[in-house]
Structure 1
Amino acid sequence: MSNRIINNSNDKKERVSRSQHFTFIIFIIVSAIFWLLIKLSQEYSETYNMSITYQDVPNNKLLTQKIDSTVKFNITARGFYLLELSMLHPEELVIHLKNYTIHKSDENVYYISTLPLNENIAKLLDIDPSLISFSKNTLSFKLEKLVSKQVNVVSKINVTFEGSYNLYKPITIKPSKVTVYGSQTGLDTIHAIYTKAVELTNIKENTMIDIALENPNTKLFRLNPDKVKMSLEIAKFTQSKVVIPISTNGGRYQIETFPKMDTIYFIVALKDFERVSATQFMVSPEISGVNLKEANKLLLKVTKHPDFVKNIRTEPTDVEFILLK
């Protein structure tokens, strides 16, 4: 009986102790909330940084350097707002230069006042402009006079053909030249503009494509136009050959070759096959820079051929010879 009374007494003490602990924890939490609300209701000053992007550069100028690439400003407001702003504020500020008065401070160095930026940032952050103060009165950048020059367009195209099809004529690019705008120092480094890399496979028909041009530095250069048309004229080819005498005329020495005839192999478009004639070809020994008194053989080279044949080779590729008196 006495043990039961003792146990009941202990249970009551534990319940009272747990209740006191719970009440204490609630008190601490409520106190912390009130303390936080009091702190957040007070005014604070917080510093923010935003990266700058300049747009709408004057037409006759080129932005070559952002001397001030970030803007630093203070916002004085209640803690509630600063807490929200720290989580939501944008990291980039776009400055449209056409909306600001641009002042010149040095050769190619210009600046704008930060005072008009108050309205810009205030709208962006949805706050009163009077709460914003900038660490600098101006933002500086470099503008250089825009000049231009024309350069050739070079294609970066890789083409494979189906079966015996091939290019009938060289690839044409229109326009073949483009105008590059930039600073004089920048344009001195530009000698050609390349197309984007393009790969065409198993081609067997005439093809025309639009290809964008690669701007080597979009911040320093503008291209006009910024894309070109590329045309590929395709034809079906066949192999053919002609057998002609080896020409030995025109050198300082008279020579006789062995053999005296050479076979020239090539491919030609089917539509041009009937146009091919042996008289359109000439093959000669290469004697330039060769000591004929010591050499045993001479390489052969095709010195004349019609412009509508491709992949030309000779058989044999070299010949023996003797000097004639």
Structure 2
Amino acid sequence: MSATPSKKYFKTVFKKRKVSVFMVFFFFAVILWFLTKLSANYDSTISLNIHYYNVPQDKLLLNNSATTLKAVINAKGFALLGYKLHRKEVNVNLSNASHKGGKYYFTGTKLNNAISEDFSRNVTVRSVLKDSLVVNLGVNIEKDVPVVADVHLNFTPDFAIYDSLKISPDTIRVHGPQNMIDTLTRFKTEPLTLNNVSENISKTLKIVIPKQLSKLTFDKNQVDVSAKVERFSEKVYIVAVKVLNVPKGLTIRTFPSEVKILCKAAIKDFKNISADDFEVECDYESIKNKPSATFMIPEITSASKFAKEVTLQQKKVDFLIKKDDE
């Protein structure tokens, strides 16, 4: 007789249950085997990141120093698995290094000991897969470097800076390796453009530090930029022409005997300016060996301290030479 449907059902359930029990025991067996294996000691090659400490105060770690290495270690499987998943960082004490000139280095036993110091007692460093570990240090120095303001100003008509654009501080102190510091000549601020300027300027600007200098130390990262702004105008002053180095026995008259000077200054300062503040001179030496000369070139030799710009309106003056006994 064929099996009834109920008997077939129970047989199927029983078989599935047997498979499930088998899989559970198999899974636990694998885990126990895996744990047993990980509890044993093995030799394995691992990669390490290096962090240096006790760097001499007058030195700075350079970028071309070694930052990674490989080592063969003996440790339990659990530890090795952890080192494989997460690269270990070892701290290397530079006070234990040999050094010559600017280079610090570890070789042989010293290198092995330097790496071993950062592992637990349960880990043995068999060997380091590198003959030597070289650490390049630069000499730390300080230097004051000028700061230049990258400022572009467009003024309202008739307005201008009264004296000069001021930067405070105008230098910054930079600390770092000598080979980098020696190349520095100046730093620029972030760019600033102002339009229709008619009032005093006061801005704080960041100093632009190139990425390749990011490891240097700076005592300031910004400067204050300021300037007084005034309205300017122009005024003409009439000044007598003087002739220098005239030989005894000669008299020289210029035509005209007075010239016009166009003076540009802040409107507030014109009350402090007079024609007596200016001097215009010609030099007899410029024409004494030129019998055919008919004119001299006048020059402004003195001007008011309040004048921003001065322009001589006459580019040349005629002259007449007369002997005193004539």
What TM-score comes out, normalization by structure 2 length?
0.60
- Residue identity matched to 2:194: T
How far residue 106 of structure 1 moved from its aligned partner, in angstroms, is 1.0
- Residue identity matched to 2:189: K
What TM-score comes out, normalization by structure 1 length?
0.60
1:47–1:261 Cα change, 3 Å? farther
Contact kept, 8 Å, 1:207 with 1:233, in 2: the verdict is yes
1:151–1:100 Cα change, 3 Å? closer
Secondary structure in 2 matching 1:248:
strand
Secondary structure in 1 matching 2:232:
strand
Alignment partner for residue 316 of structure 1, among 304, 314, 317?
314
Contact kept, 8 Å, 2:99 with 2:105, in 1: the verdict is yes
Aligned partners of 1:267 and 1:168: how far apart in 2? 11
Alignment partner for residue 152 of structure 2, among 152, 158, 165?
158
Aligned partners of 2:152 and 2:89: how far apart in 1? 40
Aligned partners of 2:208 and 2:53: how far apart in 1? 21
How far residue 235 of structure 1 moved from its aligned partner, in angstroms, is 0.9
Contact kept, 8 Å, 1:147 with 1:184, in 2: the verdict is yes
Alignment partner for residue 278 of structure 1, among 261, 275, 284?
275
Q: Name 1:194's counterpart in structure 2.
A: 187
Q: Name 1:234's counterpart in structure 2.
A: 229
Aligned partners of 2:90 and 2:203: how far apart in 1? 37
How far residue 186 of structure 1 moved from its aligned partner, in angstroms, is 5.3
Alignment partner for residue 212 of structure 1, among 194, 203, 206?
206
1:173–1:142 Cα change, 3 Å? same
How far residue 209 of structure 1 moved from its aligned partner, in angstroms, is 1.7
Aligned partners of 2:149 and 2:117: how far apart in 1? 48
Aligned partners of 1:300 and 1:69: how far apart in 2? 71
Of residues 225-234 and 111-120 in structure 1, the stretch that sits farther from structure 2 once superposed is: 111-120
1:67–1:317 Cα change, 3 Å? same
Aligned partners of 1:271 and 1:299: how far apart in 2? 32
How far residue 297 of structure 1 moved from its aligned partner, in angstroms, is 4.1
- Residue identity matched to 1:271: K
Aligned partners of 1:220 and 1:297: how far apart in 2? 65
Work out whether 1:293 is the aligned partner of 2:289: yes
How far residue 167 of structure 1 moved from its aligned partner, in angstroms, is 0.6
Aligned partners of 1:251 and 1:103: how far apart in 2? 81
Q: Name 1:61's counterpart in structure 2.
A: 59
Alignment deviations for residues 263-294 of structure 1 (CA, whole Å, 9 cap, x no partner): 11122212222222111112223677x45432
1:66–1:303 Cα change, 3 Å? same
Q: Name 2:39's counterpart in structure 1.
A: none
Contact kept, 8 Å, 2:244 with 2:283, in 1: the verdict is no
1:109–1:321 Cα change, 3 Å? farther
| C-alpha RMSD of matched pairs (Å) | 4.6
In structure 1, list runs of 5 or more residues that go unmatched.
Answer: 1-44, 123-128
Aligned partners of 1:73 and 1:256: how far apart in 2? 95
Aligned partners of 2:252 and 2:234: how far apart in 1? 32
Aligned partners of 1:214 and 1:114: how far apart in 2? 43
Q: Name 1:7's counterpart in structure 2.
A: none
Identity %: 23
Aligned partners of 1:94 and 1:170: how far apart in 2? 54
Q: Name 2:16's counterpart in structure 1.
A: none
Secondary structure in 1 matching 2:130:
coil
Q: Name 2:13's counterpart in structure 1.
A: none
Work out whether 1:169 is the aligned partner of 2:157: no
Contact kept, 8 Å, 1:55 with 1:94, in 2: the verdict is no
Aligned partners of 1:306 and 1:187: how far apart in 2? 43
Q: Name 2:30's counterpart in structure 1.
A: none
In structure 2, list runs of 5 or more residues that go unmatched.
Answer: 1-43
How far residue 146 of structure 1 moved from its aligned partner, in angstroms, is 2.1
Secondary structure in 1 matching 2:243:
coil
Q: Name 1:26's counterpart in structure 2.
A: none
Secondary structure in 2 matching 1:159:
strand
Alignment partner for residue 269 of structure 1, among 244, 266, 271?
266
Aligned partners of 2:267 and 2:276: how far apart in 1? 19
1:104–1:258 Cα change, 3 Å? farther
